[in-house]
Structure 1
Amino acid sequence: MPQASQAQPEQSTVKDISPTIMAIGEFWKAFRKNKPAIAGTFIVVFFILLAIFARFIAPQGINDQNIGIRLQPPSAAHWFGTDDFGRDIFSRIVFGARLSLRVGFLSVVGSIIAGTLLGVIAGYFGRFLDVVISRIFDILLAFPSILLSIAIVAILGPSLNNALVAIAIVNIPVFGRLVRSRVLTVKEEEYVVAARSIGMGDMRIIFHHVLPNSFAPIIVQGTLNIATAILDAAGLGFLGMGAQAPLPEWGKMLSDSREYIQNAPWTVLFPGLAIVLVVVGFNLIGDGLRDALDPRMKN
């Protein structure tokens, strides 16, 4: 008898895990067929590795100045050339990957947490809360994202951390409206109605049924928004509202080098190319995730 009682939980555990493994396998099978998404994954992983191992990859310090070699073109000693202070551009781009990716990931995570919370409240409980939260989303979305970011940074003060906060706030309505629309659909599904009819509490329904069935669009939108956040951070840095000197943020590097675009174009070319590659990489991954997670796209 004890042996039979022990075997039953093991079988149920296997039954619970196997659908998850199958779902992951199906997702990966669909995702790897998308060649642009795989290319985007390689690009993003490359920059993530640059950020992680920046201290070992960068040949020089980000603030090592040598006026005697200022504005030198790319060479064996300085792969991407030097800037107006004689600093190695390649080293600054490598360390700049840390700043740009940190802003992208952290701002999107903050937006997802806040937007999901507000979206669930508005979509699930509805009524007065839905009206108030939806109107707040509409007001925030009425402003161009870069202008709203500039206004928030102007209030908080120019810095990379304040730019991160501003970008997170600007993107909250995007995830809030996405989650709200998804919750409005999921909460009317039969399994949710059945769970409510047997007395399951609202919090349990939300965490066991509503949110798990809303993750797919959040993941896709989050991946795409990382690219947008990196662009916004670069734009704020270019305008002097984001990262401040001597931080090697890519947008700030573009701003500092714009007056040398004719005499030393490499000072602008390589930071701009880094921004383009990262943004394209995340956009390709987002498109691949959308195609792999959307049942309508599987055929």
Structure 2
Amino acid sequence: MAQLMTNINNGNPLITEEKVSGPWRDAWKAYRKNKIAMIGLIMIVLFIVIAILAPLIAPYDYKAQELSSRLKPPSWAHLFGTDDLGRDLLSRVLYGARISLWVGAFSVLGSIIMGTLLGILAGYYGRWIDMIISRVFDILLAFPSILLAIAIVAILGPSLQNALYAIAIINIPTYGRLVRARVLSLKSEEFITAARAIGMKNSGILIRHILPNSLTPIIVQGTLGIATAIIEAAALGFLGLGAQPPAPEWGKMLSDSRQFIQTAPWTVIFPGVSIMLTVLAFNLMGDGLRDAMDPRMKS
């Protein structure tokens, strides 16, 4: 927005611009000042680019087996070495980024959608709806998350898709309780009372007021949740309940190579380091978003 002022001495108009400000713009400015968080964002972008361009930058087909080259150490021909079937580890790690990011992003998206819906219903309407939904959350949280995921996959059958469903289900209470607490604090605010006073329907209040004002904690928790989902997917893959051969899932690669830790440590190091770096990147980004978007963290 520009403000027009008149310079009395020179008689010329002087235009000064007011900086456009907003909560999202301010949050981005605060986020950019956090160097560690920016490192996390750059790492995530790098992993996304690798996942998208994996067919172009992978030197070999991740399924191609060459038994004569099995368990070869890193070299110019195979930068990450080969596994027990002679498959190029670099190619499998690059393709594995696709699976880990896909499972992490879509499982968290499913958890957010269901958790947000149930949390809004429980927090806004209360009474018996809140009681039923809260008890369901308590039951799900009573089980260790990985054990519950194992049970769900055991019922549905081992596969990458079922692992995604299991990870999404076990994380629904996390987002549901977060949104419920936010809604309970929002529905007593004056602007909600004013919206009811002018005759706005509950659906309009939920969509236009409650949901937008609940996005900040959801975004922060969702970013951190992707890191947790990647670890859970790797754990299910390690147990043989996630991606099935020959899919190059990092957890499955660790499981297949655990017997070669001493004789061929590179078969474990590179998938393990990939998991560590990806989870670290999302944790750094999530911490940065929390600091940038939480008004209590601002001076």
The TM tier, using the shorter chain, reads over 0.9
| Structure 2 equivalent of residue 54 of structure 1 | 54
CA distance in 2, matches of 1:23, 1:291: 13
| Structure 2 equivalent of residue 227 of structure 1 | 227
Q: What is the alpha-carbon root mean square deviation over aligned residues?
A: 1.2
Matching residue's letter, 1:238? F
CA distance in 2, matches of 1:82, 1:43: 25
| Structure 2 equivalent of residue 89 of structure 1 | 89
- State the TM-score, normalized to the length of structure 1: 0.93
| Structure 2 equivalent of residue 132 of structure 1 | 132
Matching residue's letter, 2:219? I
Alpha-carbon shift at residue 28 of structure 1 (Å): 1.4
Matching residue's letter, 1:191? F
Alpha-carbon shift at residue 298 of structure 1 (Å): 1.3
| 1:15-70 deviations in Å (ceiling 9; x for gaps) | xxx99863332111100111111111111111100000001110000111101110
Matching residue's letter, 1:81? G
1:204-243 → structure 2 map (5 Å cutoff): 204-243=204-243
| Structure 1 equivalent of residue 175 of structure 2 | 175
Matching residue's letter, 1:256? D
Going from structure 1 to structure 2, the CA distance change for 1:33 and 1:196 (only over 3 Å counts) comes to: same
| Structure 1 equivalent of residue 192 of structure 2 | 192
Gaps of 5+ in 2: 1-17
CA distance in 1, matches of 2:83, 2:91: 11
Which secondary structure state, in structure 2, belongs to the residue aligned with residue 263 of structure 1?
coil
Higher share of residues assigned helix: 1
Matching residue's letter, 2:71? L
CA distance in 2, matches of 1:272, 1:115: 31
CA distance in 1, matches of 2:85, 2:21: 54
Q: Does 1:258 align with 2:258?
A: yes
Q: Does 1:159 align with 2:164?
A: no
Matching residue's letter, 1:273? V
Matching residue's letter, 1:27? A
Which secondary structure state, in structure 2, belongs to the residue aligned with residue 94 of structure 1?
helix
Matching residue's letter, 1:77? A
| Structure 2 equivalent of residue 280 of structure 1 | 280
| Structure 2 equivalent of residue 149 of structure 1 | 149
**Which structure 1 residue ranges, 4+ long, deviate > 6 Å from structure 2?**
none
Q: Does 1:69 align with 2:69?
A: yes
* Matched pairs, number: 282
1:29-40 → structure 2 map (5 Å cutoff): 29-40=29-40
| Structure 2 equivalent of residue 293 of structure 1 | 293
Which secondary structure state, in structure 1, belongs to the residue aligned with residue 243 of structure 2?
coil
| 1:142-163 deviations in Å (ceiling 9; x for gaps) | 1111000000000000000000
Which secondary structure state, in structure 1, belongs to the residue aligned with residue 22 of structure 2?
helix
Matching residue's letter, 1:293? M
1:113-132 → structure 2 map (5 Å cutoff): 113-132=113-132
CA distance in 1, matches of 2:91, 2:50: 10
| 1:57-101 deviations in Å (ceiling 9; x for gaps) | 100001111011100000111110000000000000000100000
Which secondary structure state, in structure 2, belongs to the residue aligned with residue 60 of structure 1?
coil
| Structure 2 equivalent of residue 14 of structure 1 | none
Gaps of 5+ in 1: 1-17
| Structure 2 equivalent of residue 15 of structure 1 | none
| 1:101-159 deviations in Å (ceiling 9; x for gaps) | 00000000000000001001000000000000000000100111100000000000000
Which secondary structure state, in structure 2, belongs to the residue aligned with residue 102 of structure 1?
helix
Matching residue's letter, 1:172? I
| 1:160-200 deviations in Å (ceiling 9; x for gaps) | 00000000000000000000000000111100011001111
| Structure 2 equivalent of residue 248 of structure 1 | 248
CA distance in 2, matches of 1:21, 1:157: 51
Q: What is the percent sequence identity of the aligned residues?
A: 65
Matching residue's letter, 2:148? L
Which secondary structure state, in structure 1, belongs to the residue aligned with residue 85 of structure 2?
coil
Which secondary structure state, in structure 2, belongs to the residue aligned with residue 247 of structure 1?
coil
Which secondary structure state, in structure 2, belongs to the residue aligned with residue 279 of structure 1?
helix
| Structure 1 equivalent of residue 109 of structure 2 | 109
Matching residue's letter, 2:185? T
Matching residue's letter, 1:72? K
